[in-house]
Structure 1
Amino acid sequence: MKRKDFLRNAGLLAASGALWNTGLFANNQQTIKVGLIGVNGMGWANLTALLKVPNVVCTALCDVDERILDKRIAELEKLQTTKVKRIIDHQELLKGDLVDAVIIATPDHWHCLQMVDAVNAGKHVYVEKPIGNSIKECEAMVAAAQKHNSIVQVGQWQRSQQHFADAIDFVHSGKLGKIRLVKAWAYQGWMKSIPVKPDEAVPTGVHYDRWLGPAKKRPFNPNRFHFEFRWFWDYAGGLMTDWGVHMLDYALIGMKAADPKSIMASGGKFAYPSDAAETPDTLTTVFEFDDFNIQWEHANGIDLGPYSRNHGVSFIGNNGTLVLNREGWEVIPEGDRMQAIALQKSKDNGLEKHMVNFVDAIRRNDRTILKAPIEAGANIAIFSQMGNIAYRTGTKLYWDKAKRSFTDKSANNYLVANYENGYKLPKV
């Protein structure tokens, strides 16, 4: 499923639009001023969804690539009459009363610094997933949000979709019987090999040092820029954190689980061994709990995943299996132990409902009604990062919940990302 599919057709937009006419905002005409940090890809999708909520305007766009920044400013002028400020440094966007809330959709290695800066400045935040690029970053982000009692919504918009909630209600009903194994996966056939390219001069209009931020200083290479940053450890965690936070999130919700006892992972660059990416294109990870396992698997260049779906999560019980993804959910019986349930298709727009929820929480000043609060985003980002750490160490790891660390000291070297170029992990 490509990212363009996040915004559905007009019929689905009408379904989410109905929520706006139920009185949710009828008695509150406060205009919310929003700034977007990171205007490409999901950042733009997030903003256009948010602007559909009544009395929300964008007052600032911020990006380190002036080429895309200018393009988005021109596009924004067609969506609203409010003038927008053009900004390179996110700190400028956070000054004064220019914005009430920000969307952070920069590469993962910037999320922690920008989110903490935003709540320190008294702003509400919508931050893309995964919320951080290391376990300690996630913990710092939670501490900062709680310290300021900020409204922080994480971009796990599936938590706002009704069919996901319905599926989990069925899992919790007990009708599947004892669940011993949960599988989650992302088989992404459209993710092709990244050919090796030489370093080159920084493109005109790109503030490359600002883009690198706390990451290791390297020459500019187009393979590491914009969308492809996901496949390099300096900036992100590959499919394990890019898609794992979506599917594994529902594995944990369904099982009412959080911290695993152990984690082991095996995989590598099996599809494209000589291409430019660092993260594995093929991976299997097993998270052990007291009486069940959660298994993650991903594969680039392949679409035919389990149950003929390219992404999803399945709860495998003694009586039957529930299979869930963005398209809907169904139940496959184990023999005659239960009745089959045909595919219950998705009927709403998760991203737009997620934005309605975000705005509602801001206007009510009530972070408890958020569908994806910072604590939930941190929990699943940390969980996914555990899988990457197990892969990178090549060791079966054991997690000490009380100490918030691994029993293997070498694995603890991955708890925090390396901060360079004068940047430091925020202390809260």
Structure 2
Amino acid sequence: MNRRNFLQTAGLAAAPFILTRKSLFAEEVSDKKHRVGLIGSGWYGKCDLLRLIQVSPVDVVSLCDVDSVMLKEAGDLVASRQVSKKVPRLYGDYREMLKEKDLDMVIIGTPDHWHALNMIAAVESGADVYVQKPTGVDVAESAAMLAAARKHGRVVQVGTQRRSTPHLIEAMNDIIKADKLGKISHVEIYCYYHMRSKKNEPAGTPPANFDYEMWTGPAPMRPYVPTVHPRSWRAFMEYGNGIVGDMCVHMLDMVRWMLDLGSPKSISSSGGIFMDKASAANISDTQTATFEFDELNVIWSHRSWGDAPDPKYPWGATFYGEKGTLKASVNSYDFIPRAKGEAAIHRDCVMELDKYVEDQTEKDLEKHVAPAIRGHMIDLLKNIQSRGKPVADIEQGHISSAACILANNAMKLGRTLRWDGAKVIEDDEANALLARPYRAPWVHPGA
């Protein structure tokens, strides 16, 4: 079933979001063949790049990764998928790639601790950017990314692709904006995936194909363990912000987008490693956080153990309104009205596997998320053409990312942080945590 047939079958062809978000679905983007580079050719870097290839006749000319085996495999895969069939130029150092100054667009799929330096260098080279979330590993990095994008006049889309997820756009327009919930004064966001690494490996020597020194970059140097590469680096706070920085940022950003919220005015959090003390992971396995807005609290909760309260919604958001409840996730949404006789509404995501057949066999692709990534790429391309702000503009990504980083800082300090959008109010100790030290010779962009 293609997208148009789905919308007609679901009775949504004339729904407001089709008109207001036409660019997301129409795939009417410029025929310009953008020259594209990718920094970080691992799991999600490839997911993002290959979705872009599906919706635009781009020319992928450069790939960069510190793992030479992963880089070579990515080069061959991209060559098989792009129209030219050319293998992109391969780099081990992003600075060498960007020094060419011949890229229109750069996708950044590196670990979180590299996002800021990669993105800032890309916009300085003249490229527009798609950067994965969270924007920075600390608040000052994230703010520096926003400042760089504005200074150089670049269009930057952040990978918070819930804003481009078709069924969630429908939920926002047909449930929330249609006032089916009435006043909303409480939202719960959550993740109960068992995603925290349980490994405790002895330190060893990195494989010859993996430049661990460059991979570590500005982060603190830890003894090498195989857990860090690929993908399980999220087990360590040195490289990211734990499950809050990985999963909460998506759901908090979705809530902010759906309810048109700015920055929270205060943030508190508690938690720690309560259950799994045997693994080497130093991120929390249990944590709650409260993001306070005017007459609305958004409450985050994660556990990397036990069962989800609702097995159908192990990662998502629940909006509580005076007239009903909305549950929303990457897989579906459910509207449960309070009024007797009013019909409940359920929608599932649409995967588009018939239209994009590569999705059926692509390794590690989250098939239910692929349409959202394509929509996100289309939105970015439209705004590159118009020089406008995409739906997940760097400013929106900064607000959501900073709030999640501040939640971890609040847990560390054991107190509520009052936030004015730039600094913690009357709290020097908390403000000192906005920028963490960089490992030499790397220089913090917010210093």
Q: Structure 1 residue 341: deviation in Å?
A: 2.4
TM-score (norm. length: structure 1): 0.89
> In structure 1, how many angstroms separate the alpha carbons of the residues matched to 2:416 and 2:63?
44
Contact 1:167 1:329 (C-alpha < 8 Å) held by counterparts: yes
Alignment partner, residue 440 of structure 2? 421
Whole-angstrom distance in 1 between the partners of 2:196 and 2:218: 28
Select which of 377, 387, 402 maps to 1:382. 402
Amino acid at match of 1:66: S
Q: SS at 1:272's partner residue?
A: coil
Offset at residue 306 of structure 1 (A): 4.2
Give 5+ residue unaligned stretches, structure 2: 8-21, 352-370
Aligned to 2:115: 111
Tell me how far apart the structure 2 counterparts of residues 211 and 247 of structure 1 sit (CA, whole Å).
28
Residue 144 of structure 1 is aligned with which of 124, 133, 148? 148
Once the two structures are overlaid, the 10-residue window that deviates more, 73-82 or 55-64, is 73-82
Structure 1 residue 35 displacement after superposition? 0.8
2:48 corresponding residue in structure 1: 46
Hey, what does 1:89 align to over in structure 2?
A: 93
Determine which of 176, 179, 190 is the counterpart of 1:174: 179
Q: 1:350 aligned to 352, 363, 372, which one?
A: 372
The letter of the residue matching 1:278 is: N
The alignment status of 1:339 with 2:342, answered yes or no, reads yes
- 2: CA distance, partners of 1:93 / 1:87: 6
CA distance in 1, matches of 2:314, 2:26: 36
Distance 2:142 2:246 in 1: 15
- Cα separation, 2, equivalents of 1:23 and 1:418: 43
Q: Deviations over 1:242-261 (max 9, x none)?
A: 01111111222233322223
Query: Is 1:210 equivalent to 2:214 in the alignment?
Result: yes
Identity of aligned residues (%): 33
- CA apart distance, 1:15: 8.0
Asked whether the 8 Å contact 1:230–1:238 carries over to 2, the reply is yes
> Matches of 2:105 and 2:404 in 1, distance apart?
27
How many Å apart are 1:423 and its aligned residue?
Answer: 1.2
The 8 Å contact of residues 405 and 412 in structure 1, kept in 2 or not, is answered as: yes
Contact 2:63/2:75 (8 A) holds in 1: yes
1:408 aligned residue: 427
Equivalent residue number for residue 190 of structure 2 = 185
CA distance in 2, matches of 1:158, 1:344: 15
Deviation, structure 1 residue 162: 2.6
Q: Is the 8 A contact 1:132 1:381 kept in 2?
A: yes
Match of 1:289 in 2: 293
Of the candidates 31, 35, 38, which is equivalent to residue 37 of structure 2?
Answer: 35
CA separation of 1:133 and 1:103: change in aligned 2, threshold 3 A: same
Contact persistence 1:20–1:53 (CA under 8 A): no
Preserved CA contact (<8 Å) 2:273 2:285: yes
Q: Tell me the TM-score normalized by structure 2.
A: 0.86
> What residue number does 2:381 align with?
359
What SS does structure 2 have at the residue aligned with 1:60?
Answer: strand
Distance 2:55 2:5 in 1: 12
Deviations 1:158-197 (A, max 9, x none): 21123212222222333323222111111113x2542211
Which residue of structure 1 lines up, in the alignment, with residue 202 of structure 2? Answer: 198
Give me the whole-angstrom Cα distance separating, in 1, the residues matched to 2:155 and 2:4. Answer: 25
How far did residue 279 of structure 1 move? Answer: 1.0
1:114 Cα deviation (Å)? 0.8
Residue 402 of structure 2 aligns to which amino acid in structure 1? I
- The Cα offsets for residues 33-70 of structure 1, whole Å up to 9 and x where unpaired, read as 11110000100101111111232121111000112111
- Alignment gaps of 5+ in structure 1: 1-9
1:375 is aligned with what amino acid? E
Residue in 2 aligned with 1:259? 263
User: How many residues are aligned here?
Assistant: 411
Partner of 1:52: helix, strand, or coil?
Answer: helix
Distance 1:29 1:136 in 2: 37
* Conserved? CA contact 1:108–1:133, under 8 Å: yes
Contact 1:30 1:55 in 2 (8 A): yes
